[in-house]
Chain A
Amino acid sequence: MCMWFPRLACDRVLKARPVEAPFALTLTDKNAERIYCLNAQAETLGLHRGMSFADARAFCPNLLSQPARPDLDARFLGALRRWATRYCPWVGREGEDGLVLDVTGSTHLWGGEAAMLDDMRARAERSGLTLRLGLGDTRGAAWALAHYGQTTGVLDALPVAALRLEAEVVTGLQRLGLRSIGDLKATARAPLARRFGPGVLLRLDQALGDVPEAISPGAEPPHYGVRLSFPDPIGLLPDVMSATERLLAPLCDKLKAQGAGARTLVLTLRRVDQGSQQVELRLASAMRDAGRILPLFERGLGDIDAGYGIDVMRLEATVVEALPVQQIGLSAQVQPDQLNDLITRIGTRIGLENVQRFLPADSHIPERSFIVAPAAFSAAESGWHSHRPRPLRLFPPEAISAEGARPPERFRWRRMSLTTGRATGPERIAPEWWLEDDSWRSGLRDYWKVETREGRRLWLFYTPQNPGWFVQGEFI
């Protein structure tokens, strides 16, 4: 049995915001805006899928439109798939806008096939979905009847396109005069296979039931949540910790079975007076080791006000990442775990994004030759290199009063008067014109390393296009 939603995308949008006018969804494809889906009213005006949106507007000036969201459509179809399991347990997706159901043995629960089809139609109509049904002996037959036929019937009279063939093959068959499935059945098989390959005959056999075709039902995504309710409310920290330990064990087993690790855990504590509190634990790396996660909860649970007691606890892994099983054995493997635990503990206090590390970046502009990234979401990278001496510290340029293209003999910086002992340079760095950067508006920079008699070794630059001297860094 096949369910086809010919206007799935449109129906989804119009369900939320109905309009009484021609309506189309557009999708940008190869630099052209094309129509992705239409409502019935727009179709009667002669518009069709795949035509360019500009043409459609010319045909029909009062056409309403909206950009298409194929990702949301796919999610909507997933919801429909779950809904369809009310008819039978074996439901799979058929392309982007259809479902395929194996209703063998479950029709009698609805009072026969006809009653089930009526129920489906009634429910689809009530929720504003255009639905076409096909009920056949095989998956291929059901598809053909849904797309080209009248729900039930025989296949012979249907066009060859109903066999799920590619457009060129269909055209080729029509040129040979094979217009319907009946024609195709009556033709000799060997020349067909030679001319069009095995695909045509496979589809024909699948539709007629000579070759089996399975329906694979979509798997439910695993749900990482466990709960625990108590006969009597609890309130002491050790009790709450041991309850958390009990919740963690099954959750970690489930994560392990799925080869996943939790990145964010949320522990919800419901109090007797119906109030609830949450403890969120963000981990520096994906983890599924209950013994290591438990101590990390200590800090968060310490701040919880238990009130008259807690009677329900719920632990959920809200962000989950793949964590394949790894070979252990080298002692070096243990070290990153310890560091990640430390980052998590520090992160619970100051925020995980405030623990950072340096990553190299490919730029000759000093400020852009490195990136500061949160350590929990990046891996350490080597590949640092410097061709010329660079300062130890870098700060936003601080202007000093000096003139000329050579470094000044004397200058004042941060209320210190300094005397130049030796100046090395210049090293010219040009701004990256392809990126907007306000601090580089002054144009080229000539960098000098200035060793002062007072000891400080500074990194000065001169901007020849916009004369001025600045201090930007300090060397070792």
Chain B
Amino acid sequence: MIRAMLPDFATIFPLRPGRVHEACGPGAAAFAVMAAGQGRALWIRPAWQKEGLYPVGILSVCEPAQMLIARTQQEVDSLAVAEEALRDGALSCVLIEITRPLDLREGRRLQLAAKAGGTTGLCLIPEGMGSNAAETRWRVRPEFDDEREDSTLMRWEIIKNKSGTIGAWNVRWSQEARRVHVVSPVGLRPGSEGAPG
């Protein structure tokens, strides 16, 4: 019954291009590099942020040579750069680290820019600070794996979806296939964290 409600993972995960999505939770950075994949990507982050990507570590997921970094002094600059990059179409993915909730106008502008350029946008947001304009919102959390060593088991919950229902999956990064591999869908019990209200 519950399984039938789950949207098909293949229809949502390679994130819909031409839209802006959101990711939160401790595994949001991992989600972002997986969303960027092999394409050319721009990572926009505030200059004061000390915690950076480690290019050798992302090697198993995406190509560091394809990744550009923009360091901005203010949130406004981040948004302006994101809008410019989304509209241009030279990149396949734009990743934006955001520290405050976007208002509807800002979210909508990013959405229009993404549509114009056919670029995928992904905002990395603090928990609970989503914008209403986002196409989908994901909460990503790494999970402990009892069985496998060197596991990349994660729990991905889609907590907002404009064009479908929400759901949750346990996924793992398959390094050989270079894609996300669904381990098992997670049942949504009433009262569980990701259950619809």
Q: B interface, how many residues as a size bin? A: 35 or more
Stretch at the interface among A316-324, A365-373, A440-448: A365-373
**In the complex, chain A residues 388-433 whose Cβ is within 8 Å of any chain B Cβ:** 389-396, 421-422, 424
Residues 442-456 of chain A: 1 if any B CB is under 8 Å from the residue's CB, otherwise 0?
Answer: 000000010111111
A188 within 8 A of B: no
Chain A: minimal CB distance from B33 (Å)? 7
Q: A interface, how many residues as a size bin? A: 35 or more
A350 within 8 A of B: yes
A455 touches B81 (CB 8 A): no
B5 within 8 A of A: no
SS class, residues of chain B in contact with chain A: mixed
Residues of A within 8 A of B30 (CB): 392, 476
Q: Given the interface contacts A369-B56, A394-B54, does A389 sit within 8 Å of B150 by beta carbon?
A: yes
Residues of B within 8 A of A385 (CB): 59
Residues of B within 8 A of A424 (CB): 149-150
Residues 320-335 of chain A: 1 if any B CB is under 8 Å from the residue's CB, otherwise 0?
Answer: 0000000000000001
Roughly how many angstroms separate A241 CA and B88 CA in the complex, as a whole number? 22
Stretch at the interface among B63-71, B102-110, B129-137: B63-71
A345 touches B84 (CB 8 A): yes
Residues 377-390 of chain A: 1 if any B CB is under 8 Å from the residue's CB, otherwise 0?
Answer: 00011101110011
Residues of B within 8 A of A396 (CB): 50
Q: Given the interface contacts A354-B70, A392-B57, does A382 sit within 8 Å of B65 by beta carbon?
A: yes
Chain B: minimal CB distance from A449 (Å)? 8
Residues of A within 8 A of B80 (CB): 349
Stretch at the interface among A43-51, A106-114, A355-363: A355-363
Closest to A357 in B: B68
SS class, residues of chain A in contact with chain B: mixed
A391 touches B173 (CB 8 A): no
Output the residue of A349, A355, A449, A476 with the most chain B CB within 10 A: A476
Residues of B within 8 A of A451 (CB): 144-145, 151
B16 within 8 A of A: no
Chain A: minimal CB distance from B139 (Å)? 12
Residues 26-61 of chain B: 1 if any A CB is under 8 Å from the residue's CB, otherwise 0?
Answer: 110110010000001000000100111111111111
Residues of A within 8 A of B145 (CB): 451
B88 touches A338 (CB 8 A): yes
B90 touches A375 (CB 8 A): no
A90 within 8 A of B: no
What are 29 A-B pairs with beta-carbon distances under 8 A? Answer: A338-B89, A338-B90, A339-B40, A341-B90, A343-B68, A345-B88, A346-B81, A350-B70, A354-B71, A354-B72, A356-B70, A358-B64, A358-B69, A370-B55, A375-B68, A382-B63, A384-B56, A384-B65, A386-B59, A392-B58, A393-B29, A393-B57, A394-B53, A395-B50, A421-B146, A422-B149, A449-B150, A455-B26, A473-B54
